[in-house]
Amino acid sequence: MLKTLKAFAFAAVATVGITLAGSANAGISIIGGTDTAIPGNNDFKTQLNTAGFDTLNMGGNLSFTTGTVKFYLLGSESDYRDGFKVNGTTLYQEAGSGGANDVAWQGLPGTYLGQYNVSGQNPLSLTFISSNPNGTTASVGSQAFGLIYDGPNKTGLTKVVFAFDDQINNQDDNHDDLLILAKFTPAVPELDTWMMMLVGFSLVGLQLRRRNSVSMSVA
């Protein structure tokens, strides 16, 4: 009986370990691109650093595991009317022009804009828009669509700041024209987690059944 309990405990711990390993990788991942420190002329550098964001990625792509992404406005500094779209829907659009567009640092998590469910089969289309005639849009993977995160780890992130530069070919390449926080929450529980747990406990049950059969045969 003691051996049986030990076997059950070992299998349960192994199952939980696998589950936790899968959960640790859940989140947002940044793929490729070039990493650098947040530029010193970024108007929000101090606030970003204080909040734990220290790395700017340019040209990188994104991948998401299954979960929900909530979007928040953090701040903006631009002479153009900039905005942000998710799957073609405008979540934020500046209305004024010049300094009237500037939005002071909102603090974390910022001003809530909306949320979307996401998965490998349901990716998000993310786009910055601008009234600047020389750079009207920027999608993930472009130099103007910056990704600010807590480096150097690029996987399993729960928070990434999308940082727009609406004049990427100008000397003011500081990615502070519009900042949007993406906050990821994994699905609870994830389907693959349930499946792993089911398989694990099924194996435990099968092992116990076989041992009982052997014991009865010996008796």
Look-up: residue for tokens 């909530």?
Answer: 70
Beta bridge partners of 149: 55
Q: Are residues 184 and 154 part of one domain?
A: yes
Whether 203 and 180 map to the same domain: the answer is no
The reply to whether 210 and 144 lie within a common domain is: no
CATH of the domain at 114: 2.60.40
pLDDT tens digit sequence for 75-101 = 999 888 999 999 999 999 998 665 566
Kindly state whether residues 17 and 116 are assigned to the same domain: no
48 and 10 co-located in one domain: no
- Give pTM, 2 decimals: 0.76
Contact status, residue 162 vs residue 56, Cβ threshold 8 Å: no
- Check whether residue 118 and residue 102 sit in a common domain: yes
Are 94 and 15 contained in the same domain?
no
- pLDDT tens readout for residues 152-192: 999 999 999 999 999 877 666 689 999 999 999 998 765 55
SS3 of the chain: helix, strand, coil, percent, to 5: 30, 35, 40
- Nearest-5° Cα angle at 187, 183 to 188: 120
Task: Give per-residue pLDDT as tens, 118-150.
Answer: 987 778 999 999 988 776 799 999 999 999 999
Residue 23 belongs to what H/E stretch? helix 2-24
What's the total number of domains in the chain?
2
What are the backbone dihedrals phi and psi of residue 178, each rounded to the nearest 5 degrees, phi first? Answer: -160, 125
**34 and 54 housed in the same domain:** yes
Q: Are 15 and 49 members of one domain? A: no
Range of the domain at 61: 28-189
